[in-house]
Amino acid sequence: ARAVLESPDGLRLGGRKREITVLMSDLRGYTRFAEQGDPTTVMAVLNDYLRRMADIVIAHGGTINEFIGDAIFAVFGAPVEHPDHAERAAATALAMQRAMDGLSADLAARGQPRFEMGIGLHTGEAVVGNIGSEQRTKYAVVGAAVNLAARVEGCTVGGQILMTAATAAEPCAAR
């Protein structure tokens, strides 16, 4: 947010193409819990999950583009450019899965159901920038890279991270 606001064109509507890595995650079993659970408990569990995962994304230099219910759409490499965006996204996915172990243990200790998370990663070119109107503006990431990351995530089972060959082919600082 700081980078966007400090930029002279930060709030101007429009976009540009940028290579980024998209991370999509989704909880398995949460929808049924939300439909059948007490609203206060449902929202408390969701907010705890989102807080923990948001902290991890932000710590790795990612930007949360949206929370879509219990799904998270995060981007690495925009608005702040990072040459190691794919590596950051992969490290984030691993940290998120480790954090799910702790969250599941906490939920079980409170008598709540355990959840698992699937994560999909894809690296590619996307259009990034501000969309909307004078009344409401939003930083957005659009294009095939976003759609492919969502499809990859949809193929995961709980506890799994899948990445495309494009993400795996990105240079890694540890190599």
- Provide the pLDDT for residue 28: 93
Query: Percent of the chain, pLDDT > 90?
Result: 77
Average pLDDT over residues 14-37: 92
- Residue 164 corresponds to which amino acid? T
**How does DSSP assign 61-81, residue by residue?**
T-EEEEEETTEEEEEESSSS-
Q: What is the pLDDT of residue 89?
A: 98
- Kindly tell me if the per-residue pLDDT of 93 is higher than 60: yes
Please say if the pLDDT value at position 125 is more than 70: yes
- Across the range 135-143, mean pLDDT stands at 88
Chain-wide mean pLDDT for the chain? 90
